[in-house]
Amino acid sequence: MSKRVLQFFGLAVMAMVAAGSFAPRATAADGDFRVTLLGTGTPVPSPERFGPSTLVEAGDQKLVFDFGRGVTIRLAQLKIPFGKIDAHFLTHFHSDHLNGLPDLWLTGWLRPPYAQRSKPMTIYGPPGLAKLTKGLTEAFSRDLEIRGEDEKNPPAGIAFDVHEVKPGPVYEKDGLKVTAFQNDHGELVTPSYGYKIEYRGHSVVLSGDTRYSAEVVKQATGADLLVHCVTVIPDELMKKFPVYERILKHLSSPEVAGKVFSEAKPKLAVYSHIGLNGGATPADLIARTRKVYDGPLEVGRDLMTITIADKPTAAMRN
């Protein structure tokens, strides 16, 4: 067999493998409601914990909340084409929640099976979102021109459908409802939202980045699932690097998060946006939380999926 034929055969096999690897997985069955932690990290560059991002699936709808570093990689691991996301939601404008957005937006416009967005990218978030998306469009204008002309990618697929929202109901479709609410990420970090997602008599609350917030407690009271941020910063680290004191003032320690869990009493509490600093471990995180909260608790990991039912269950997703 000639070298040229072998090369052609190899390329053909690679194409078939690529297409097969993104063959659509079975969607959530009608009535299924599940949450997958795409990224459970912070600004810390980590191969184990990618930037903050959460996938919510309700029936055949797929929603993504926040776009931390690596969001496209985690979606690819789940074999979810980026063009199949129904709506996207931003909590606030800190870079660790945003640096994966250009990748998801631009890569989602491509034509291979992992992308294929052919309609505008629907995105909801606080006021200021239109300025952000306009800036991205300008920043990548040359790439958009080249790919539009060269690859004939559909113009609609690279457009943004922007919805700047205030606290209150922001999305409702086929029994799925999303409500934005104001959390407390510090005096300067405003607006900053959490989101409550309701579907077929069940509810999930994503706290967003927040210190203690009575509004988070209110929204999460009786919820099936509360996903909450947490940060562990040992005292000696704060003494060595005073900036950590300012960081902790904007976020929740395990004791603060545990207080929220104790007051809201969700059926399951799960940590995400997990800051383990100065050698802190998940065991430290759990021990400190247990000082004030003795209910159901999971320390989130990337690709952990929580199935929402009368008794929520968490498992790693393959």
DSSP the chain: --HHHHHHHHHHHHHHHHHHHTSPPPPPPTT-EEEEEEE---SS--SSS-SSEEEEEETTEEEEE---TTHHHHHHHTT--GGG--EEE-----GGGTTTHHHHHHHTTSSSTT----S-EEEEESTTHHHHHHHHHHHTHHHHHHHHHHT---GGGG-EEEEE--SEEEEEETTEEEEEEE--S-SSS-S-EEEEEEETTEEEEE--S-SS-HHHHHHHTT-SEEEEEEEE--HHHHHH-THHHHHHTTS--HHHHHHHHHHH--SEEEEEEEEE-TT--HHHHHHHHTTT--S-EEE--TTEEEE-SSS-EEEE--
How many CB atoms are closer than 10 A to CB 215? 15
Average pLDDT value for residue range 152-176: 97
Buried b (16+ CB within 10 A) or exposed e, 75-97: bbebebbbbbbbbbbbbbbbebb
Token pair for 242: 């005073």
Residue 1 has pLDDT above 70, yes or no: no
Which one from 96, 184, 209, 302 is the annotated catalytic residue? 96
pLDDT at 22: 59
Task: Work out the mean pLDDT of the chain and round it to a whole number.
Answer: 91
Answer whether 71's CB lies under 8 Å from 39's CB.
yes
* CA neighbor of 91 nearest in space, from 158, 2, 20, 191: 191
Q: Does the annotation count 96 as an active-site position?
A: yes
Please report which confidence band the pLDDT of residue 23 belongs to, taking 50, 70 and 90 as the band edges. Answer: low
pLDDT at 239: 86
Answer whether 229's CB lies under 8 Å from 273's CB.
yes
Average pLDDT value for residue range 88-110: 98
Each residue's pLDDT tens digit, 54-69: 999 999 999 999 999 9
* Lowest pLDDT segment from 119-123, 130-134, 148-152: 148-152
pLDDT at 9: 37
pLDDT at 246: 84
pLDDT at 2: 45
Task: Specify the higher pLDDT residue, 234 or 74.
Answer: 74
Average pLDDT value for residue range 157-182: 98
Mark residue 111 as left, alpha or beta (left: phi above 0; alpha: psi -120 to 50; beta: remaining): alpha
Average pLDDT value for residue range 211-231: 98
Measured in whole angstroms, the distance separating CA 75 from the mean position of its chain's CA atoms is 10
Residue with tokens 């006021």: 127
Max avg pLDDT among 20-24, 29-33, 288-292: 288-292
Answer whether 196's CB lies under 8 Å from 183's CB.
no
Each residue's pLDDT tens digit, 24-41: 554 555 569 999 999 999
